[in-house]
Chains A and B, each alone.
Chain A
């Protein structure tokens, strides 16, 4: 197996990085913390126009028909800027799910709306009980008893929930039985739920890599600048050790996440196990990097005026979404040993 990204994949990543660095700056992110939607709608429109939102939508429905290996680098970039948009839900989870499982006409309508940037799809599975951006979504995909259903967002009853991250608008969602369109049920439903959960956990892992990468970068910039005893604090060995540990965890996690993307894209038998490895590694890495970043920033890192907390709180939220590290380690144990490790 050859595993390296193609020139096109790297070029797409660079294009998205360039776009997000200009259009999703900390000031916009801060505004998303206090505005009605928690989002930056212009960025969604820009990403849709570029082709990112419809990346996984089949070409027949106006998308690019690409897979998780194409998507993983782009989601990493969205993490790097802490993008407050439901791209994992809409592009990584909902689009492939609709294409694989939904009734043909229903899928056709929603997939073309996703590709054009006109529709946002929120997702709530049993592993992610609160639904991100359900209030600004057009369609909500939900799971109950191995049955996947879709509800037009205006038919759902939403109850806001708190998040540590002010830009994450979470909701408990309830709905009437007759408003739901069944996407998959029975054994097919169980498989569809698993695939959707894997894709969500994978996409979140990629975002965690980007978040961690940016926090480390911020911290390295800071310790080179901040002086104590007449020298930059970054010249002290104790600080270097923290940063080296952070880099080590990040670099160990990255190939695990890329490998999981390959497994999911090629529907390998080990896909769920590989995704769980990725989510466990990426969650632990992001939490560790966040902690080291906070410590190396000293007191300023504790303030809301400094940007670090925007990245740190997103990392805390995502590390615990789509299954935390402990849950995913158990899942790896189950898949290898056939039982939960004791």
Chain B
């Protein structure tokens, strides 16, 4: 079974990040690492490929400056190869622009049975790319998977909900987003790390994918960040000295909130 995993390489959350005042977006000039929330998808894909008795796990990523260090981590875990799309024209891409690029790259992977993503990235948090990807690829989409099984061309997913989980089945190929924390991502072994250096990373530009530059980046973004403000500090509450009317004040306060 061939599985594609979409992974994002993000600035290390352990290093304090900062916004570029010019573009009002996160500075990405530092070394990027594999988004932890994507490591669950990679682990899930490796387990599914094992369970199926073979097949390849291919990574697809879009990142500035041909950054591969995060991809190398996932390759060291056991993925077979990667496609990296890097292009100055992609700076400023919104979620839909990103999904267009990833979809075009996934179409180049022959015989992909399953496309896994995280539910959302740890630096952008839009949480919309998986569904956009499914729509662009014209594939069924299942979100918030906590458990995945594949048999006879059907993927069975336990889809996490607030109350528990739903059992969902859908035909392959499909796009499934994996909830963070549902599997234990393996640590790369030293042999894996060394082998990862010689695994193929196909580096592409949007021209290679046949994407019109006006559809992506700042030019194609359907959103604009107009300003960045500090979150307002929480206001302190009202303080009353209890002069015997404290209970009434509490009742009045709760009534005002319509909770009693």
Contacts and interface: CB of A to CB of B under 8 A. Distances in A.
A8 B187 contact: no
Contacts of B194: 8
Interface string A287-317: 0000000000000000000000000000000
Interface residues of B, number: 7
A18 interface: yes
Q: For the complex, would chain A's binding face be called helix, strand, loop or mixed by DSSP majority?
A: helix
A46 B191 CA distance: 14
A47 to B, nearest CB: 10
Contacts of B190: 12, 15, 50-52, 55, 64
Interface in B174-193: 187-191, 193
Contacts of A12: 190, 193
A8 B193 contact: yes
Contact of B191 (A18, A19, A51): A51
Interface residues of A, number: 13
B193 A49 contact: no
Which among B187, B188, B189, B191 has the greatest number of chain A C-beta atoms within 10 A? Answer: B187
A11 B187 contact: no
Nearest to A55: B190
Contact of B187 (A19, A55, A64): A19
Contacts of A18: 187
Contacts of B189: 49-51
Contacts of A15: 187-188, 190, 193
A11 B191 CA distance: 12
B191 to A, nearest CB: 6
B152 to A, nearest CB: 33
Nearest to A74: B190
Contacts of A49: 187, 189
Interface in A305-333: none
Contacts of A64: 190-191
A12 B193 CA distance: 8
A11 B31 CA distance: 13
Contacts of B188: 15, 50
Contacts of A19: 187
A46 B187 contact: yes
A241 B1 CA distance: 62
A51 B191 CA distance: 7
Which among B188, B189, B190, B193 has the greatest number of chain A C-beta atoms within 10 A? Answer: B190
16 contacts: A8-B193, A8-B194, A11-B193, A12-B193, A15-B187, A15-B188, A49-B187, A49-B189, A50-B187, A50-B188, A50-B190, A51-B189, A51-B190, A51-B191, A55-B190, A64-B190
Nearest 10 pairs between A and B by C-beta? Answer: A51-B190, A50-B189, A19-B187, A51-B189, A12-B190, A50-B187, A51-B191, A64-B190, A15-B188, A11-B193
Interface of A: 8, 11-12, 15, 18-19, 46, 49-52, 55, 64
Interface of B: 187-191, 193-194
Given A49-B189, A50-B187, 14 more contacts: A8-B194, A12-B190, A12-B193, A15-B187, A15-B193, A19-B187, A49-B187, A50-B188, A51-B189, A51-B190, A52-B190, A55-B190, A64-B190, A64-B191
